[in-house]
Amino acid sequence: MAGSKYVYVKRFEMPDSLLPGTFTVVRIDGHGFHRFSTEHSFTRPNDERALKLMDQAAQSVMEEYSDIILAFGQSDEYSFLLRKDTKLHNRRHSKILSLLLSLFTSSYTFYWSKYFHEVELKYPPSFDARIVLYPSAKEVRDYFAWRQVDTHINNLYNTAFWALVQQGGESTTQAHALLKGTQSAQKHELLFSRFGINYNHIDVRFRKGSVLVREVQTHSTPGQSMYLTAATASPGSCDSASDNVPAVGAANVASREIRGVTGRREKVIRSVRVRHDDIVGNTFWEARPELLEG
């Protein structure tokens, strides 16, 4: 199309390419979610429906963009790691940020009724987002360790706080005062001695958050499948088989056919799975060295 006399205004657009040779992390956070969760009567301290909805929205984003190799979520936030050598949208900051954020937000709204069957969405949820660049694998690992440790700290506090309010009869002000300045061990002791709650037995989803990774699934006969990954059998891991979140998306799911040892043709699919692994230690990362390759 021929340019008009007005095309000169494009010169005012600023270039915003991300620094090459760096890992890109996009973090999406709920905006005003304290009010949102109150208005929609989220269960305290954890609403499993809301967490699964966040997982579903994140899975939609990861299935749409194959350059996303890992995601981690807790509460009302999700972080997405792109391949270090990604060329997605020519590494344009504004393009990547706006597209991931808009798809996440629209997916959250689209799937709302799937998880909140009897709860009407009273007003549109909103999220904000930022992009952070990291120079090496060390900073990437430390970033995700930071988010998972934050998950534990927040959940331990919230579990103790709401136990005091819901079971202990304390007001919210009194509960905050009782917990002020307490250490982790003291919160564990309070939960067990006063309410018989062993924090380590609480659902791992609440304590560790959700990790989204791509795993290889083979189909050899109708109705039979198997996931192939070194981490699948790792201690403390949990996949999404019981999470009511689809394992295979419609977009960007790589598949191929191989001939197995029995001579039967098998279809191999790399699909997004929701897990609840420890990502602070080495086991998760050593089982997936490709995540942090340059």
Distance CA 81, CA 130 (A): 12
**Rounded CA gap, 78 and 56, in Å?**
11
- pLDDT computed for residue 223 by the predictor: 54
- Give alpha helix (H) positions in 47-125: 48-64, 93-110, 112-115
Q: Which domains does the chain have, with CATH numbers?
A: 14-151+204-216+270-291 (3.30.70.3000)
Q: What is the pLDDT of residue 239?
A: 47
Closest CA to 203 of 159, 263, 265: 159
For residue 150, the model assigns a pLDDT of 98
Is 34 one of the annotated binding-site residues? yes
What is the H or E stretch that residue 287 is in? none
276 annotated as ligand-binding: no
Which backbone phi and psi does 213 adopt, to 5 degrees? -140, 165
Q: Is 168 annotated as a binding residue?
A: no
Establish whether 31 is an annotated binding residue.
Answer: yes
The answer to the question of whether 294 is labelled as a binding residue is: no
Q: Model-level pTM?
A: 0.85
Residues whose CB is less than 8 angstroms from the CB of residue 229 and which lie 6 or more positions away in sequence, other chains included: 213, 215, 216, 287, 288
Closest C-alpha to 51, from 81, 78, 79: 78
Tens place of pLDDT for every residue, the chain, 294 residues? 567 999 999 999 999 999 999 999 999 999 999 999 999 999 999 999 999 999 999 999 999 999 999 999 999 999 999 999 999 999 999 999 999 999 999 999 999 999 999 999 999 999 999 999 999 999 999 999 999 999 999 999 999 999 999 999 999 999 999 999 999 999 999 999 999 999 999 999 999 999 999 998 766 655 555 555 544 434 344 444 344 444 444 444 444 444 454 556 666 678 999 999 999 999 999 999 999 986
Which is it for strands 126-134 and 68-74: parallel, antiparallel or unpaired?
unpaired
Q: Is 30 annotated as a binding residue?
A: yes
Predicted local confidence at residue 270, as pLDDT: 80
Q: Residue 294 CB: number of other CB atoms within 10 A? A: 9
168: CB partners within 8 A, 6+ apart: 175, 194, 195
